[in-house]
Amino acid sequence: MHQRSAHRLARPRHRVEAPVVARRSHAAAPVGVVVLFLGLLLGTVSVLLPVAFGVFLLLSAFSFLGTRVNPLSIGFYLHTKPSWTAIGVLFLSAVLLFVSAYAYYVHGLGPILPGLRG
């Protein structure tokens, strides 16, 4: 008769690590808020400044959607993707700058060009 070996080969135990969760960067959100406040302050000097800052933030938000290139970072490349919150903050800041530039112009709070008060 064939006897079964009582002794089994033990399988090597491998550590099972948790899957790595891709973290997203929130670094652009505070920069977007600072650019928003700077645009609101400089809107009284010229209405074109908040519009220019708004265009910059809007293009930055759109560039974050498909790439890791970050015009707001020193290295110009992110190792992690920007968070949806940061993209939303940049987009909303751009919209607020456009609305504030229009309000400054309509209510006469800022000239189109510096020194051209009407």
Amino acid at 60: S
Report the 10 Å Cβ neighbour count for 66: 7
Q: What is the pLDDT of residue 28?
A: 85
Share of the chain above pLDDT 90, in %: 43
Query: Which of the pair, 34 or 70, is modelled with greater confidence?
Result: 34
Residue 117 resides in a domain: no
Amino acid at 25: S
Q: What is the pLDDT of residue 95?
A: 97
Q: Which residues does 17 contact at the CB level (< 8 Å), separation at least 6? A: none
Residue 42 resides in a domain: yes
Residue 112 resides in a domain: no
Q: Which residues of 46-60 are buried (b: 16+ CB within 10 A; e: fewer)?
A: bbbbbbebbebbbeb
- For 57, the domain range is 28-107
pLDDT tens digits, residue range 41-56? Answer: 999 899 999 999 999 9
Residue 19 resides in a domain: no
CA-closest candidate to residue 82, choices 67, 102, 104, 98: 67
Cβ contact 113:80 at 8 Å? no
Domain total in the chain: 1
